[in-house]
Amino acid sequence: MLVELRVVEQRHKAVLEVLDGAWVTEVAHRYGVVRKMVHDWLRRYAAGGMTALADRSSRPDTAPTRCRRRSKRGCRPASGSSELGPRTLVHRLGAEGVVLLPGRSSVYRALIRHGLIDPKRRKRRRSTGAQLLRPQRGRR
């Protein structure tokens, strides 16, 4: 009877085979993975035992381009008025010589997150037939 092993048990079995003297290349081929993965399993098994062989999240620990959450005080513009919008803030940062400017949408989200501005619905063009009735330039 064929019994299906869990992922952790399969990895544990592969690690034990290598520790018993099997070649890493053979074990990797048998389990359908690359050699680097078998070496990673060996390292994780040595560090934490069988529980370390469980699946891990692929989410990174840090995101260097993401804005940090700060208090409202740290988010307020230093120039006095708290009624400044994202476009003005980005422009003023550029004028002050900031090299890596944040995007306007990032500043907008930060201002909303800290309650400094109220989110507004986007203004959209009227979808009337008038645009279709206009003659196009360059065509006759």
In terms of residue numbers, what domain contains 98?
Answer: 72-113
d(CA 92, CA 77): 10
Report residue 71's pLDDT band, with 50, 70 and 90 as the boundaries. Answer: very low
Query: How many domains does one find in the chain?
Result: 2
Q: How far apart are the first and last CA of the chain?
A: 79
Tens of pLDDT, residue by residue over 88-134, are 889 998 999 888 888 888 888 888 888 888 887 767 776 665 555 66
Name the DSSP letter for residue 62: -
Domain assignment of residue 61, yes or no: no
Q: What's the mean pLDDT when you consider all of the chain?
A: 79
**Judgement on whether residues 48 and 76 belong to the same structural domain of the protein:** no
Report how far apart, in Å, the C-alpha atoms of 69 and of each of 9, 11, 91, 114 are: 41, 39, 22, 9
Segment 31-44 shows an average pLDDT of 94
Measure the CA–CA gap between 87 and 3, rounded to whole angstroms: 62
121 is a domain residue: no
Domain check: are 76 and 109 in the same one?
A: yes
